[in-house]
Structure 1
Amino acid sequence: MARGDQLTRQWRIIHALIASPHGKSAAELSDALDCHSRTVYRDLEALQMAGFPLYTEQEGGKTRWSLIDAQRHQMPLPLDLTELMALYFSRNMLKVLEGTALFDALSSLFDKVKATLPPAYIDYLEALSRRLAVGPRAHKPYRRFKETLEQVQAAVQSQHHLQLSYWSMHRQSMTQRRVAPYTVWFHDDTFYLIGHCDLRRTVRLFAVDRIERLEVLQSRFEPPADFDAQAFMQGSFGVFQGDPVRVRIRFEPSVAGYIRERIWHPTQTLTPAPDGGLIFDAEVAGLDEIKFWVLRWGAAATVLAPETLRAAVRREAQQMLERYAATAPPASQTAITDRPPPHDRP
């Protein structure tokens, strides 16, 4: 039997025993796991040898297995042992926050959880974690912006205005902004400040890592009582804002499965096409990000509406064609370029 199957089965046994204050018999465990009772006995013995505090008691002529200290090893919080183990297990998923005070606080929390759990539980979690790897992904090194993020968060809490020197990536220029900071928004591995900008006289988003200089002012503000960050961002396909517009995009059968398996936008509707393709409909705020999303799928995506989005994608594709037609890769790179892709579309 594969080691992974054994670990998974033993993890389910631990979970079942933790959830049962009166314990479980081997027969009950074998029914729940759909395996032979002899297999359950071997797993229980292996868990005991690993250091798990299992004990048995007789009840109605049956032997019941329990965790002797399932209640004792708890933090003074409404969390049971299973929840604490799940919390510790999730630590690698939060590495995109590394370099922030939030990550430091989470690291401290994980250390406390680790100190609370019995050593055998930690060893078991480490074995399980080797079967669930969290792959690296592109993210911003927030260690350089830790102080800026802390100042922004403090200003949000104290409701003090901020004076920003902000680099606009779109305009490629530096601007000075006086902002009433409403909240910090984390999206796609980036921290954003949402607040009212005196320069634009409306609520805007600012990427924290593009704040070059920051000053917390003495003046204070009162945020609108009805402001809701979730509602404010709901129409956006990512973080860009704009007028609401209905988009309709056809996806070829080759990528329809990838589109179908995710919720890309809260307003989306998916309509199957007769040939196995898919029609994506949604009402989004602005067209910038949806344009880049369409281009990501290459020739497998066709904009049906609106015409402004069709024209924007057409221009982008034409510029790409002209650029590739005007230049050729160095001979040394030709062999690499001509190789087939190592895997399917992500």
Structure 2
Amino acid sequence: MNDSPAANAPASEPANGAPNPGLRIGTAPDSWGVWFPDDPKQVPWQRFLDEVVTAGYEWIELGPYGYLPTDPHQLEDELGKRGLKLSAGTVFTGFHKGEDQWQRAWDQALEVAGLASKLGAEHLVVIPDLWRSDATSEQLEPRTLTDEQWKKLGAGHDRLGKALLEEFGMKQQFHSHADSHIGTTREVLRFLDETDPRFTNLCLDTGHFAYYGGDNVKLIEDRPDRIGYLHLKQVDPTMLFDVLKNDQPFAEAVADGIMIEPPNGIPDLAPVIEAVARIDPEIFAIVEQDMYGCDVDRPFPIAKRTREHIFGCTHLARIS
């Protein structure tokens, strides 16, 4: 049983006892099928921004660096004239591979955090390298880490988180991921144990955590101090066991629709949102339905229906 104030506070108020406005609900380029900076099959960035507004969102993520304009003045203008705001950027890391990975990570941070922080974003979502390529499905390295690799992983993320705070005032939010070394509950918990909460916390992606059977609400209640950011998505339970049994690569599973439109999948989003709102209503909850490879006309109605579903299933959700 969890006796923390966050776990036992009523759903209508956070742990500090103040009235709870609920979490800010946003969306991301990923929900429009955008995985790469430049891909002719992806929706053009102008259309993405316009459809975000029409779908009823105000907060977005940067997406892959180079998809949206990288000039801060142009991006500020494009977001401003649409009433949009930026919650976070994203980088990719492989600290378990050794010291040479630091420069790669910091070079990305200088670009992404440098841009996002100028537009007021306070979070950097960090995704670990996959052991299986999301482009070719080739196995790139062993599926599990050695104890030495775990130590390198934790130390690298703490170093990055400390540098982000000092240089940009941004918080690192680590994103566990299918086909990565940190996906199962045991792996996520070990990652938390290997890292310092001052510098490294979780972007809890509800779909990716459920992909390997994780209980999102239990993780939130067991480690409330380590939840810094949310990605909201659902996984299709009717497909999941076939995907795992047949060892289907994640990218292929996405193309087949493993990440499904709410409320048709798991986990239920309302209990997740309410559990996190009890911790801190300033945490972002960004809808991020993996849809790479979809037709450009498909994402918008799903994004609109998803927002409507979220606001219809819990009162602890807000736009801004």
Query: When the two structures are superposed, what TM-score results if normalisation uses the length of structure 2?
Result: 0.24
Q: Which has the higher strand share?
A: 1
Q: Which has the higher contact order (CA 8 A, sep 6+)?
A: 2
Query: When the two structures are superposed, what TM-score results if normalisation uses the length of structure 1?
Result: 0.23
